[in-house]
Structure 1
Amino acid sequence: MVSETFVLGGVPVRRLGYGTAQLTGPGYWGPRGTRADAVAVLRRAVERGVTLVDTADNYGPGLAEELVAEALRPYREDLVIATKGGVVRTSDSAWHVEGRPERLRAMCEASLRRLRTDRIDLYQLHRFDPGVPMAEQLGALDELRAQGKIRYVGLDSVTAGQLSEALALTSSVVSVQNRFHLLDRGSAAVLELCEAHGLGFLPWFPLGNGALTGRAAASVDTVAAAHGATRAQIALAWLLHRSPVLLPTPGTGSLAHLEENLDAAALRLDAAELSLLDSLAD
């Protein structure tokens, strides 16, 4: 039985969410389409039952958060808005990790303004800054939580060792966001830790970012044909079957693609199909 919901921190969310990265242009820089189209996609996602919307301050930069506010305020009580801070963008190809406590506080304040809210449900540290002690970075987020500006803390792109260290330093962490999809299980050890500690795991690039080719594509097509589904839907359904803590948030700027993605939640894969898909990892 595949669970449709997960308790993130203390809040139930639908496991299949929506990510906003594809509302911005190449390199997550500038707009991809019109504001009206982006707003329509965000609103339709929530109409379809999405309760977890994942964004970041550097998507745009700033644009994705502004679109979330324009489309979804006033925020429904059951809607969890997750954003990220800790990375500064200076061009479409430049990413600068920034974990000094004063900068993390400033980035969180800026996200609060763009999202037009008094509290961010899930504030994710986009990267650990190797030049700043982990305790100082997490301490800054704990201070923001004590001030009521964030509800829960998430971590992005961490190793199993970093996650274990973070959990020893704070009890605020409720989720991880790492690369994980049908063909990339490199974060399996992190996923196991999330399962052991009851943490949510938001897999980024849940559709593999175009990786479904060759033998893998043929195998996925075999399963897809049995369900009248697409490759993308099978990739998402596999994640939902793989672990009850996986919370995929596929992104798109297309209403049609959004509908396709969300329909994946209804697919039920049998043991033979799961075995075939499990065998595809690199």
Structure 2
Amino acid sequence: MSTPISAAQAGTISIGDFTVNRIGLGTNRITNTPEAHDLLKRALELGINFIDTAHLYGDGESEKGISSAIAPYGNGVVVATKGGANGNDPQQLRRELEESLERLQIDRIDLYQLHRVDENIPLEETMQLLKSFQEEGLIRHIGLSEVTVDQLQLAMQIAPIVSVQNEYNVINRKHEALVDFCTQHQIVFIPWFPLGGLFGDTAKVEERVADIARKLNVPTRQVALKWLLQRSPIILPIPGTLSPAHLEDNLRAATLELSQENYEALTN
């Protein structure tokens, strides 16, 4: 008899005043289709209760697909979205927020993340704007994406920051200092492309973990995700997929035993 699969096996993590299971779902390829709806429903069945999307994804189809499949959200499900990928102009950012609220069929977004810092607009001004959205009751918590330690520290002076989402995986390690800072300050770190991404990075991740995956007789994705879970207790991986089989494989990383020796071999 096979062991039941559940995101709860990864443990839990607190994002502001929410607690979610420690493997979520990235939805940059999710669209508003029956197949995507089935995947989202299956994710909830498997205990995934943190779903990450963005105003940008699929030109809005990701947010629409999520709400079509699983709204109204219950059972502690947190849907996080992002705005400001193509600029932080105040009118544009408010419009994107309002569109996300409409697409997701909610009155308040639990976690709203600044998708990118606009080099033409001072971060302090954008943070004041996000704080005003929070005070209006449109968003509950604020997160940032693709920031430096210095930018995070600046933002923290204006409003509480509960999460940071930067690209990070077993081969892309340029944000080590940021992971350490987030760990110290109990800010959730959400690595995007946790299994690699563009420019051949997925193949590089697979190559990096291949020997250990063969020894453990598991898919490479499980080793790559388990490494992230062991890297820091504040890391919340959000692997994306359109495949129910890959979805289950990802969650099996929670129960994979990665020895300290193997973890260090991947880390060093």
Q: TM-score, normalised by structure 1?
A: 0.87
**d(CA) in 2 for partners of 1:150 and 1:218?**
40
> Which one of the candidate residues 201, 226, 232 is aligned to 1:211?
201
> Which one of the candidate residues 24, 46, 58 is aligned to 2:44?
46
Matched residue, 1:56: 54
Identity value in percent: 41
**d(CA) in 2 for partners of 1:197 and 1:3?**
21
2:113·2:145 contact (CA, 8 Å) conserved in 1? yes
> Which one of the candidate residues 226, 243, 248 is aligned to 2:215?
226
Q: Deviations over 1:131-152 (max 9, x none)?
A: 1121211111111111111110
Q: Which amino acid is 2:165 matched to?
A: Q
Instruction: Compute the displacement of 1:222 (Å).
Output: 2.5
1:85·1:104 contact (CA, 8 Å) conserved in 2? yes
1:127·1:156 contact (CA, 8 Å) conserved in 2? yes
Q: Which amino acid is 1:197 matched to?
A: H
- The count of corresponding residues between Structure 1 and Structure 2 is 258
RMSD: 1.7
Residues 1:255 and 2:253 are matched in the alignment? no
> Which one of the candidate residues 152, 159, 180 is aligned to 1:192?
180
Does the residue aligned with 1:81 lie in a helix, a strand or coil?
strand
**d(CA) in 2 for partners of 1:153 and 1:212?**
29
2:10·2:21 contact (CA, 8 Å) conserved in 1? no
The 1:150–1:77 alpha-carbon spacing in structure 2 relative to 1, beyond 3 Å, is farther
Matched residue, 1:112: 101
Matched residue, 1:91: none
2:195·2:225 contact (CA, 8 Å) conserved in 1? yes
Q: How does 1:1-282 map onto structure 2 within 5 Å?
A: 4-24=11-31, 35-87=33-85, 97-171=86-160, 173-209=161-197, 210-211=200-201, 213=203, 217=206, 220-279=209-268
Instruction: Compute the displacement of 1:6 (Å).
Output: 0.8
Q: Deviations over 1:144-174 (max 9, x none)?
A: 1111111101100001111111112222x10
Report which stretch shifted further, 253-262 or 243-252. Answer: 253-262
**d(CA) in 1 for partners of 2:203 and 2:115?**
29
Does the residue aligned with 1:68 lie in a helix, a strand or coil?
helix
Instruction: Compute the displacement of 1:3 (Å).
Output: 6.1
5+ residue gaps, structure 1, are 25-30, 88-96
Does the residue aligned with 2:64 lie in a helix, a strand or coil?
helix
2:13·2:19 contact (CA, 8 Å) conserved in 1? yes
Instruction: Compute the displacement of 1:228 (Å).
Output: 2.4
Q: Which amino acid is 1:37 matched to?
A: E
Instruction: Compute the displacement of 1:217 (Å).
Output: 4.6
Misfit runs of 4+, over 6 Å: none
1:39·1:67 contact (CA, 8 Å) conserved in 2? yes
Q: Which amino acid is 1:246 matched to?
A: I
Q: TM-score, normalised by structure 2?
A: 0.92
Does the residue aligned with 1:155 lie in a helix, a strand or coil?
strand
**d(CA) in 2 for partners of 1:144 and 1:272?**
47
1:219·1:276 contact (CA, 8 Å) conserved in 2? no
Q: Which amino acid is 2:98 matched to?
A: E
Instruction: Compute the displacement of 1:64 (Å).
Output: 0.1
Q: Which amino acid is 2:116 matched to?
A: R
Q: Which amino acid is 1:124 matched to?
A: Q
